[in-house]
Amino acid sequence: MAQAQIQPTSHKRILSHDFVVVSESQIIPQNEMPEVFRLPSCSGHNLYEISVDEIQHLFTTRALTSVQYVQFCLDRVQRVIFLPSSSMQTLNISKVNPYLEAVIETNPEALDHAKALDEERRLGKIRGPLHGVPVFVKDNMATADRMQTTGGSWVLLGCIVPKDAHIVRLLRQAGAIILGKTNLDEWAGMRGSIYSLGYSARGGQCRNPYLLNRSANGSSSGSAVSVSANIVPLAFGTETDCSVISPGMVNGVVAIKPTVGLTSRGGIIPISETQDSIGPYGRCVADAARALDVIAGPDPDDKFSTVPERRQPKSYCDFLTDRHSLKGARFGLPMKRFWDVAPYPQKAVAERALRLIKEAGAEIIPVDMPCADERLDEDGIWDWERYGESRPEISEITVSKVQTYYLMNEYLGKLKNIPIKTLEDVVQFNDENRGSEGGHEGDLPAFPDGQRLFRKCVETKGIKDETYYAALKHIQTQCRKNGIDAALRCPPEHRKGSEDEMLDALLFFDVKAGGIQIAAQAGYPVMTLPIGLDPDGMPLPLTLQHTAWQDEKLVKWASAIEDLLKAHNEDNGISPLARSQRMGRIPPTYKNHLRKNIPVDPDYEWPGRHRDQGAPLK
């Protein structure tokens, strides 16, 4: 770890593998938020919006221990102060989780792990950039310890998993401390077609820290919220279609959904073997890149992670760069069904970001995806059940229903200590426990249609019939060859060389999530970073896409754009109090913090938004 004096207002990076990414923690005020959400100092240090590199700097200089920081993060979830024994009372000082419900449970062994890692550091053993850093994992990632792995459902409470999920094992090996499990759309959103995003029976209703009556999206709601709300610096989520990227977008954090197979799905409660991916959340690109370095890698238990075409650089941090790299870059901006239907006034914020990118010397070229007319409705709004009933042979949901059935049965069959062994058992449990799980239509406001998708999965019996294979081939061909790959090919009028000339990346202002859906079906990588706030105070994203195994290019261009936005704020003297003018990540202020509505309101408001108000983002 490079030693550097921390200058909180600087946005500059040292371009090498050993560098310190410096946050803006000292200049961002917290007085606009309710007092209960304000982050206190930790052993005299301001840790608000702190980066992983800064945490390591404090650890390395012995200014802070992992034990101190882990306890600080646990207190941020919920702190209990015991009054004198004579009073026989306890005073519960609620921190953020009783309001946000982002965390399902904390790890009772976290402080023991922190103590052991502090001792390793004292003896000169440093495992890497995440040594001693607390992180959260989603509650569908197996941990073979004293914590539960339930997918947010009561049906799996008490189950014993055979071993840690592969990425959990890699995190532990890297010295990260699993602080706990995060809330999610129950069963990662696969149980129903209409439900309250971020709700699970076990975890309750996860809420957006910007506007607590609004959706935190899903299914990795709690992971994104925990990072945005400064509970932890890093967290991890899973995605089949939108479940990593969409929560990142609406909670104002950086998120990476890697190429399918870059991160192993071993030990994860499954949905789709052709679309599931595991990705990190961070408050800056460098933090997310450091996390991806740890969790990326082949796994014999996941055949998609060992394919011959797999490519992975030594470190994704080697591709971190600054705004000057944008000079000469050429990006595609997909138009039809994407930019053309982006809602106003959110679109005005994206236009500001694109203008800055152009002023930095990049070229933004309008492009189209030949598949867009078929894969998306004309309003461009995400709908993964499109064609499910009318033309199942070309529908994404056809594939996921079949795969969910046989993958879920395989996963459940390996669990011990519970009688649940099949998806049919899960459906029956939900039906029999209507008050807690709401198995039937109308049982619970969070699950209006009960468990409609689970019932449809059971109907398939996991049989890969002619319709299944037709649908799988169709969605992959359309979204790869006639989708992202086609849009990446430089249009003839802009070519400087051969007809095979490729653009550097695709840019999306994807608040309707149509672009993420295309990438999900293709199995291609997506990355999102915050660019500012809409008039309601909700964070807005810019997302980047590329073809398979080009994840490092997304890290490169996202880091350059992030640096550009920070420089814009600094060069123009835009105060942190001028939230509507600032660009990049703008921390939440927890408006409407006493609201407890279920279902939650939609994340963004625009004309026509309520058409799919109840539709889940899986």
Which residues are known catalytic residues?
Answer: 138, 219, 243
Phi, psi of 177 (to 5 degrees): -110, 120
Measure Cα distances from 477 to 304, 371, 486, 528 in Å.
Answer: 18, 9, 11, 24
Q: Where are the alpha helices (DSSP H) in 485-550?
A: 485-488, 514-522
- In the chain the first and final C-alpha atoms are separated, in Å, by 38
Beta strands in 494-583 (DSSP E): 505-508, 526-533, 539-545
Q: How far is it, in rounded angstroms, from Cα 342 to Cα 305?
A: 35
Q: What is the 3-state secondary structure (H, E, C) of 181-209?
A: EECCCHHHHCCCCCCCCCEECCCEECCCC
Within 10 angstroms of residue 497's Cβ, the number of other Cβ atoms is 7
313 conformational bin, left if phi > 0, alpha if psi -120 to 50, beta if neither: beta
Which residue has 């592969």 as its token pair?
Answer: 166
Q: Which amino acid is at 453?
A: L
Q: Which of 197, 198, 217 is nearest to 206 (CA)?
A: 198
Q: The dihedral of CA 379, 382, 385, 386: what is its sign?
A: positive
**Is the link from the previous residue into 108 a cis peptide, with omega within 30 of 0?**
no
Q: HSE of 552 in the Cβ direction (CA atoms, 13 Å)?
A: 14
For 39, residues 6+ apart whose C-beta sits below 8 A from its C-beta are 30, 47, 48, 76, 230
Smallest Cα–Cα separation from 457: which of 389, 398, 393, 387? Answer: 398
Distances (CA, A) of 538 to 352, 462, 571, 614: 16, 40, 24, 19
User: How far lies 311's CA from each of 240, 319, 356, in Å?
Assistant: 21, 15, 32
Give yes or no for a contact between 503 and 488, defined as CB atoms under 8 angstroms apart: yes
